Amino acid sequence: MSPGTNGPKDRNLLTGALGPTGALLLAVALFWWLIQPPKPWILGGIAGAGLLLLALWAWLDRAHLREILGGRTAKFGTNSVVLTLVVLGLLGVANYGGQKVGHRFDLTATKLYSLSPETLSVLKHLQGDLHATAFFKDENQERERASDLLAEYAARSAHFQFRKAEDLVDPERKPELARKFGVREDGTIIVDSGTQQQRVLKATEEELTNAVVKASRTEKKTVCFLEGHGEGGPEDSGNSGYEKAAKALESQGYTVRKLLLVQEAAVPPECKVVVAAGPQHALLPKEIEVLRSFAARGGRALVELDPPSQAGQAETGLEGLVREWGVEVGRNIVVDELSRLFGNSPVIPMATSYGNHDITKDLKKGEAVMATIFPLARTVAPVATLPGGLQVEKLVNTSAQSFAVPSDRIVGGKVRPDPKHDQAGPLSLGVAVAAAPATAPAAAPARGAPEPHEPRAVVYGNAAFASNRYFDLMGNGDLFLNSVNWLAQERDLISIRPKERGMSLVHMDPAQMKGLLSLYVVILPGLVMLSGAWMWWKRRRL
Amino acid sequence: MRNVWSIARREFRSYFVSPIAYVVLALFLLLAGYFFFSILSFFNLQSMFMLRNPQMMQRLNVNDLVLRPLYVNLSVILLFLVPLLTMKLFADEQRLKTFELLLTSPVRLWEIVGGKYLAALLFWFLMLACTLLYPAALFHYGNPEAGPVVSTYVGFALLGAAYLSVGLLFSSTTENQIIAGVVSFAVLLLFWVLDWASQVAGPPVSTVLQQLSLTEHYRDFTKGVVDTQHLVFFFSFIFFGLFLTHRVLDSRRWR
């Protein structure tokens, strides 16, 4: 009897094992290559060994193989394989269809995993493509939740792209990507429309949906930088220039241009926000008048005024204008001893506390506060009696160890606080002016309707904080961007109440715990074993 | 249908005759009970400590911090226990040569496959029913949300059913129970590894792997979400396992 025609039992066990082992090696090589390819010679070695074993098996078992491949078995075998592949294909299609057409039922009590109707509506009307990337370090506890939230968004709109495998990134593992998007903080989400990007620092539905709204806006708003009086210029890359700020604005979808008011009879209509980045010389009365009427018809202004650096220095004229808006800009320099602790000169005060305002709300994350610094600043505070219809809120405050030294007392560049007479901290370095609630429009107008003239302005007692030299420091850049965003804000930004998973506790005393332990860990399994033993004993008797 | 049921009944009964079912059930309850106990006592401790810190207390939620980790752990324990349950389903018959006898009877092959699977499934449901005691304790001592418990059980039941179909398949490929058990375990482990691999691999591969990973499809259920795409996946998986089993057994006719 020739060896090849024997049944399976007669085949040498070793020969029989060659085939599957060879196949296994090949499979391992394939798997490895797909996941994280090792060095080519390792991969090649394993694959090669697998192929070798398969070949060896085929040769040694050739008679048997011939029999299998030739006869009836082959025909039925191929049929089977084809049928299997067809079924697999159909199932694949069914699953693919299931993904597109499926329905998601959120069974949590607070609908934690469903999106609010506002978000759903925004996603439904989304037209352009948006791509989200989430930068969360591996140990960040918010990682899963943020990823789940983004996945929900992606599930609801074909235009919102987020895939956990590619777009949930650890910034430490992919630093180039983090740098490309200018990600500085752990827990940042970038929503990219291709032409502009929105940065989300807090992974809540409200922030994310608003970012979607902002990122998908097609009309560009223009921010106009006042020039001609020594202000920080948007194209100036020097230390006191505003090039970085301008670039940051452009990446958020704004158009930036310069504005020479002297040549204009009025602020051009496309300027949504006018920025006066620290004028050093006085403005002409004509220019002040143009700005006044700009604000009166609803124009938004960001005014940054540096303190006079010596006694007797003239005002720019904007001080009087903002006073009409209810803002008192002090003629002083703020000195903060706290800054010494951080290695800074005391004339570079740090903001240690913020008001409760949209502009500053994401500078506070729970207990942590993001600092901002203002090199050479003056106080900016609400006037004692506010003009009707306006409210002025403090944005940024220094510590209690600060003093406001009147400029008139500065002699020879030396600033010395007089604790007995000088105004003491905490001192306000910036305010936001808005319509008082009573006069604010009652309801948001329909999308697309012209906006009512709601006055808004932001005034800071320092321009250098957002200049090129200081823009990237701590929270400075964010403060500037938030201010412009708030000023440029449209009505279709929404507020969504966050859904918190309800607190749900257990109350058990030690006795109950012990009872539980004995019941679940001892009694239950014990009962099972006992019934097993009883069954076995019963059968033994048979 | 009647044949399916009678085969299932016979097979189910035979579970209680062999020691293996008792061992599996007891082990499962032991491990599950122990996990439940330790997770719960830690949570209980946290509940007591956090009374001083209302802000941290907000984060404590029994569904999130007790049930969810418990059922994720249990899904790993199942990896080991399911092969023990399924290894005898076909291997025994083939060893005892009663399988040929069965094939010659008027019972159709798919009825045999269906019946055996049904028996294993019923035993699995029995195990599941025993675990209901854990959420019951939580409802007694606390106030968990009911919705996520329901969805977790749906997911867990489907996951177990999927594991069973793998076990059934490999039981049909060999006479040797041990081999059936070991190979089933290896394959289930492979699927578990797929999930890890999908996190590590790059874009096109990772998406494919994520789609194939059983754990990935299970995850949403533990959160409290029932998504029809996951239901479709599990049913497809189970169907394919049973289909392949049918193919393997059918092939004995012409091998």
Residue B31: predicted pLDDT: 92
Across residues B26-46, what is the average pLDDT?
88
Mutate to test the interface with B, among A520, A524, A540 (most CBs of B within 10 A): A520
A506 CB near a chain B CB, below 8 Å? Answer: yes
Residue A4: predicted pLDDT: 46
Q: How far is CA B238 from CA A206, A474, B195, in A?
A: 40, 54, 18
Amino acid at B239: F
Partners of B16 on chain A (C-beta within 8 Å) are 535
Higher pLDDT, A286 or B105: A286
Residue A205: predicted pLDDT: 84
A144 CB near a chain B CB, below 8 Å? Answer: no
Beta-carbon count within 10 A of A381 CB: 22
With left for phi above 0 and alpha for psi between -120 and 50, is residue A533 left, alpha or beta?
Answer: alpha
Maximum distance among all Cα pairs of chain A, rounded to whole angstroms = 119
The tens digit of pLDDT for each residue in A414-451 reads: 777 888 888 887 899 999 998 876 655 544 444 444 45
Higher pLDDT, B113 or B48: B113
User: How large is the ipTM?
Assistant: 0.83
Across residues B22-47, what is the average pLDDT?
88
d(CA A56, nearest CA chain B) in Å: 23
Residue B125: predicted pLDDT: 95
Across residues B218-222, what is the average pLDDT?
89
Radius of gyration of chain A (CA): 35
Measured distance CA(A51)–CA(A29) in Å, rounded? 11
Chain A nearest-CA residue for B54? A503
Total beta-carbon pairs less than 8 A apart between chain A and chain B: 185
Binary contact (A535, B17; C-beta < 8 A):
yes
Residue A446, burial from CB neighbour count under 10 angstroms (0-12, 13-18, 19+): exposed
d(CA A11, nearest CA chain B) in Å: 16
Across residues B71-93, what is the average pLDDT?
88
A524 CB near a chain B CB, below 8 Å? Answer: yes
Residue A442: predicted pLDDT: 47
Partners of A9 on chain B (C-beta within 8 Å) are none
Binary contact (B60, A503; C-beta < 8 A):
yes
Measured distance CA(A313)–CA(A279) in Å, rounded? 13
Mutate to test the interface with A, among B225, B226, B234, B248 (most CBs of A within 10 A): B225
Measured distance CA(A477)–CA(A472) in Å, rounded? 6
Q: Are A479 and A359 in contact (CB under 8 A)?
A: yes
A529 CB near a chain B CB, below 8 Å? Answer: yes
Binary contact (A524, B22; C-beta < 8 A):
no
Closest to B227 (Cβ–Cβ): which among A102, A508, A524? A102
Residue A47: predicted pLDDT: 83
A541 CB near a chain B CB, below 8 Å? Answer: no
Binary contact (B244, A508; C-beta < 8 A):
no
Partners of B226 on chain A (C-beta within 8 Å) are 104-105, 107
Q: Is the pLDDT of residue B49 over 90?
A: no
Q: How far is CA A434 from CA A74, A383, A390, A411, B58, in A?
A: 83, 14, 6, 38, 34
pLDDT under 50 in chain A at which residues? Answer: 1-7, 442-450
Measured distance CA(B153)–CA(B172) in Å, rounded? 28
Q: Are A71 and B253 in contact (CB under 8 A)?
A: no
Pairing of strands A300-304, A327-329: unpaired
Q: Write the DSSP string, A19-84.
A: HHHHHHHHHHHHHHHHHS---HHHHHHHHHHHHHHHHHHHHHTHHHHHHHHHSHHHHHHHHHHHHH
The tens digit of pLDDT for each residue in A256-299 reads: 999 998 888 888 888 889 999 999 888 889 999 999 989 888 88
